[in-house]
Amino acid sequence: MVFSNRDKGGFKLNTEQTKKIMINIIGFIKDVDATNDSIEILNHIFEFHLLKSSEKKSFNNFIDHISIAFEVNPNYLIDYMTYNESLTINDSELENDSYADLLNFINKLKKKYGLIISNLLSQNRDPFMLSGADVNVKNNGSIHNLRVIRADGESLSMNFDSSSIMATSLAFTQALSNSIEIGIFSLDPTLVNHYLDANKNLIQQLAELLERKDD
């Protein structure tokens, strides 16, 4: 298997956790393959529970359905579906053709439902987790709108101006720096690149603003 630890690039992937997730999904595939028509059954479970409803009850039923249908630990699949790395047939111990077919199908499900499962998992495990924000910046106005959203869908709306949002952003930036320094985590490289690009533009805008003020 191929695993990466990108400390130099600012990412600290927990290699042992990665290995555990990959080993567990291999065992999951071997156990599920023992059931006849496993791909058809698995596809039905995903479509029925995840496309039917995004409510907490439906997600719990989804997990229970996997456990009952295949007599396996469904958390092995859930952990793999929400992890940002994928197992390929060349990296695995799945030399059997039916194992390979099942792995390829699970990887397709991962691309299709991974984000949905990740969001539902956050709602169930950590409903108070910050999941996003909506910002409405008004033209020709100094007061703007911000809505902060939790994983369970609850939100809080507020107004802000440039000074207040800068002070808040500073607190978030310091919190991000501290969490990266002391935490064990996995970050999406695409998200990090977007964050870096946005901050480069902001730094340039602030520098130009200070230069005009000095003049």
72 lies in some domain:
yes
Mean pLDDT taken over the chain: 83
54 lies in some domain:
yes
Contact 5, 13 (CB under 8 A): yes
For residue 1, is pLDDT > 60? no
**Residue ranges making up the domain that contains 103:** 15-125
Poorest-pLDDT segment among 74-88, 117-131, 200-214: 117-131
Average pLDDT over residues 31-53: 91
40 lies in some domain:
yes
For residue 206, is pLDDT > 70? yes
Poorest-pLDDT segment among 50-59, 64-73, 172-181, 205-214: 50-59
Rounded to whole angstroms, how far apart are CA atoms 132 and 191?
Answer: 13
199 lies in some domain:
no
What pLDDT does residue 211 have? 87
What pLDDT does residue 98 have? 84
6 lies in some domain:
no
Count the domains in the chain: 1
**pLDDT > 70: percent of the chain:** 87
94 lies in some domain:
yes
Element (H, E) at 147: strand 144-150
What pLDDT does residue 138 have? 86
* 132 burial via Cβ count (<10 Å: 0-12, 13-18, 19+): exposed
Q: Is the pTM of this model over 0.95?
A: no
Average pLDDT over residues 65-92: 88
92 lies in some domain:
yes
CA distances from 33 to 23, 46, 78, 94 (A): 16, 17, 17, 11
CA atoms within 13 A on the CB side of 37: 6
What pLDDT does residue 55 have? 57
205 lies in some domain:
no
